[in-house]
Amino acid sequence: MPVTAITVPILHANDAYHVSPVNADSGGGAAEFATVLDGVRDAATAAAAASENDEDADHIAVPPMTLFSGDIFNPSLESAISKGRHLVPVLNALGFDATCYGNHDFDFGVPQLESLTSQTNFPWLMSNVRESSGRLLANGREFHVLERGPLRVGLVGLVEREWLDTITSLPPGLVFEDFVEAGRRIAVSLRNEHRCDMVIALTHMRLPNDERLAREVKEIDLVLGGHDHFVQYVDAEAVGRGDRTGAVVVKSGTDFHDLSKIEVKVVREGEDAPWTVEHVDVEHLTVPPGTPERADIADSVSEIRDMLARKLQKPICITTTPLDARSATVRLGESALGNWAGDIVRWGYDVDAVLLCGGTIRSDLVYGPGEIMLKDLMEWFPFEDPMLVLQLTGDQIWAALENGVSMYPKQEGRFPQVSGLAFVFDPSREPGSRIVSVDVTSPKRAGPLDREAVYTVATREYLAGGHDGYTALVVDDPSKVLVDDENGLLMTTMIRKYLLGLKMMKSFAAFHGRSPIGAHSADEEHEHHHHARSLSAGGASDAGEPAHSSAVASLAAKVVARQETTAASQLALDCVHCYRDQRWSRLKQVATGVARLPVISPVLDGRIKMVEVDEENGAGVA
C-alpha cells in the first residue's frame, strides 16, 4: 500500500547556558535534560521502527531529528572559566543533528568558536552572514539536508542583523543578507536542486522577526527559533499561512529546562505527488527537579562543577531585599540590582553618572533575601570588558537614553540602567523622541540635564564601542577618555572591592570596639551603620538625590567631604580603590574571625519612570 502520510518527530531546544541546575527547585541541567531527551527520542525511534515493519500502513512515522537554535557556549560562570570548552563533550553526547549560531556563541571570538565547533559531531548553520572573503561567518554551513525515511528535510540557519551589532569580536566587513531574502533563496534551492520535501529554518532572532519569516517565506515549513527565552508556539493562521494548520513558529524556552516535542504531519495525494505539511503539533516538556542524570554527561561536567563549587560557593554579602535579575525586569524598567551596581561604580570612579544596560545583567533569576555568593555576582555580570570613564555632553547622554528605550517593549539588552541620572520616557512616542525629561542626581551636578554641558560618565567598554545601538557613546577624541580599557576595572572587581571595604570596616569596628565609620553619638552610630548595610535605604537625601546615591556617598561624602577621615573611613576608601598598606595584614586576621557579612538592601527609587496613559481622561501619567 502506498504511503500517503508521514509523521516527522522533531525535538527542539535553544539558549542553554548552565550545565547544572541553577538551584534545587528549578529543574534543568544538562545531564537531567539528556534523560528527558533520550526518553522522548527513544520512544519516537521505536514508533518509527514499528511503522517501518508494517507493510500495509499508509501512514508511517520516521526517526526523530534533534535540533538546537543557538546560544550554548556563553554566558555562564562555567564558560567564563573554560571559554566554552567544557560544553563540547556535553553537546556531542546529547546527539544534536544540527544547530545554528547564536550571538553569545561569539563571545570569546570567532577563532575560539571555530575551534569549539570543529570538535563537535554535528553541523553549525550560518546562512545569511558572510565575511569579507565571501566565506560564511565562523565557517558555518549555508544549509544541511537530513534524510528521514522517504523524506529529505532541508535545514537553513538564519540570524537577525540586530544582534550582530552587539558583538565586539566579529571580523570587519561582514556582509549581511536579509533573513527573508536568504531564507527564500535557500529554501527554493533546497526544494528544486536538492530535492527536499520539507524545509526547516533554525533561527536566532526575536519573535517578531521569526513571525515575519514564517509569514513571508511560504517555502519554509517550520521556524524553530532561539534568542527569546520563553516558550511560545505561533499558529499558522496568526501569520496568514492558510496552507496548513498548527504551529509555524516554535520557541522552546531556555537553559536545559525546556524541550519542544514537535510532530509534523506531511501528506501527499498520490505516489508521485509532492509531500506537503498538513499540520504541526507541539508539546512543551520540562526537566523537573529530581530528574535522574545521564551518567556520561554527569561525569563530563563534574570536575569543573566541583572546582566551581569550591571557589565560588563563598558568601560575599547578605541582601535583605530580593535582587531580580530576570530579563523581564532589567530590560523593561528600573532594577534594584542595576541601581545598586551602578551606584557602586559611580562612587568608585567619582563620576557624575553611570550608564549601563539591561543586557549587562544576566542569569534571569531572582536572588534573596539571604546570602549572596560569589557565584551569583559572577553570573549577574559575566562579561569581561572593563568600565571606562568618558567625558560626554548632555546631548550625548540624552541620545544614549533615547537609544536605550527605543526598542521598548521588546526585551532588548539596550534598555538603560543608570546611576546619577533620573529620566522619564513615553513609549507611545516614536523611537528617537521618547525621552521626556532627564535630571542629574549626583550631588555635585544636581539639576536638569544641561544638553550643552560636559559630564563624566562611566560605562562598559562594550557600550562605549557603540554596540547595542549606543553610537552616542563613541568618543573620537582620546583626551575625552579619562579611564581607558587598559586602566578600567571590571564591574565585578569594583563590587567585590566595595564589599571587602564594608567587611574591613566591620573588622576595624570589632577590633576597636567602635562604630564602623567612627561615629561618636548613638544617633550617628545608627545612621552610619544603616548606610554601611545598604546602598538603597529609601527616601531622599538633603540634596534631593535618590537614597541609593546618598547611601553610597555616606561612605565617602558624609565622612570625607566633612573631612572626618577617621582610620576606618579611610580604610573603606582604600579597599575599594585597591590601595594597599601595612594595615591590611592585621585587619585581615581580624576579618577572618568576624562572622558577620556585609548587609545590603537595594531597592527601586524611581530613577526610571514611564509615562502611562490614564484611560479615564487620556492624560499621560508618570
Q: Residues 245-276: pLDDT tens digits?
A: 999 999 999 999 999 999 999 999 888 899 99
Q: How far apart are CA 329 and CA 531, in angstroms?
A: 26
Q: What is the pLDDT of residue 282?
A: 98
Number of residues that make up the chain: 622
Spatial neighbors of 325 by CB under 8 A, at least 6 apart, are: 335, 337, 361, 362, 363, 364, 365, 366, 367, 380
Quick: pLDDT tens for 293-304. 999 999 987 877
Is 111 inside any structural domain?
yes
Q: How confident is the model at residue 456 (pLDDT cuts 50, 70, 90)?
A: very high
Question: 527 pLDDT exceeds 80?
Answer: no
Question: Starting from the edge strand earliest in sequence, which strands make up the sheet with 353-357, in order?
Answer: 416-419, 353-357, 454-460, 387-393, 481-483
Cα angle for residues 468, 213, 99 (degrees, 5° grid): 75
**433 and 514 co-located in one domain:** no
Whether residue 566 is contained in a domain is answered as yes
C-alpha cell recorded at residue 614: 490614564
Q: How confident is the model at residue 9 (pLDDT cuts 50, 70, 90)?
A: very high
The 10s digit of each residue's pLDDT in 36-61 is: 999 999 999 999 999 888 877 889 99
Instruction: Judge if 23 and 167 occupy the same domain.
Output: yes
> Stretch 569-577: mean pLDDT, rounded?
38
622 domain-assigned = no
Query: pLDDT tens digits, residue range 86-109?
Result: 999 999 999 999 999 999 899 888
Give the range among 152-156, 322-326, 590-594 with minimum mean pLDDT.
590-594
As separate numbers, helices (DSSP H) first and strands (DSSP E) second, the chain gives 18, 31
Q: Is residue 605 part of a domain?
A: no
Last residue of a domain, one of 435, 456, 490: 490
The pLDDT, as a whole number, for residue 557 is: 34
Q: Are residues 323 and 288 in the same domain?
A: no
**The total number of structural domains that make up the chain:** 3
Q: What is the pLDDT of residue 203?
A: 99
Work out the pLDDT band at 538, boundaries 50, 70, 90.
very low
pLDDT, mean of residues 333-339: 97
In a domain, 112, yes or no: yes
Same domain, 157 and 144: yes
Residue 478 clears pLDDT 80, i.e. is over it: yes
User: What CATH number is attached to the domain comprising 236?
Assistant: 3.60.21.10
**Domain-located, residue 506:** yes
My answer on whether 60 and 186 are in the same domain is yes
Q: Are residues 525 and 443 in the same domain?
A: no
Contact 329, 433 (CB under 8 A): no
**Residue 48: inside a domain:** yes
Residues 333 and 351 in one domain: yes
Q: Do both 191 and 238 map to the same domain?
A: yes
Residue 230, number of CB atoms within 10 A of its CB: 14
- Secondary element (H or E) of residue 98: strand 98-100
Q: Name the band, by pLDDT with cuts 50, 70 and 90, for residue 550.
A: very low
- Split at pLDDT 50, 70, 90, the class of 581 is very low
Tell me the pLDDT band of 169, cut-offs 50, 70 and 90: confident
pLDDT band, residue 516 (cuts 50/70/90): very low
Assign residue 461 the CATH number of its domain: 3.90.780.10
DSSP state of 285: E
The H or E element spanning position 66 is strand 65-68
Assess whether 184 and 327 both reside in one domain: no
Calculate the average pLDDT of the chain.
85
* Strands in 141-275 per DSSP E: 143-148, 151-159, 175-176, 198-205, 222-227, 231-235, 245-252, 258-267
Q: What is the pLDDT of residue 572?
A: 39
In a domain, 508, yes or no: yes
Cα atoms in the Cβ-side hemisphere of radius 13 Å centred on 348: 32
Mean local confidence (pLDDT), 370-391: 90
Q: Looking at the structure, tell me whether residues 395 and 268 fall in a common domain.
A: no
Looking at 255, 273, 303, which one is the last position of a domain?
303
- Examine the domain organization and report whether 261 and 336 are in the same domain: no
| Percent above pLDDT 70 for the chain | 83
Q: What are the C-alpha distances in Å from 556 to residues 225, 435, 538, 568? A: 49, 32, 19, 11
Amino acid 110 reads V
Q: Residue 75: what pLDDT?
A: 76
Residues 424 and 439: their CA atoms lie apart, in Å, by: 9
Averaged pLDDT for residues 199-211: 97
Using the 3D structure, point to which of 490, 511, 544 is the last residue of a domain.
490
Q: Is the pLDDT of residue 513 over 70?
A: no
* Structural domain boundaries enclosing 571: 493-600
Note whether 484 and 501 are same-domain residues.
Answer: no
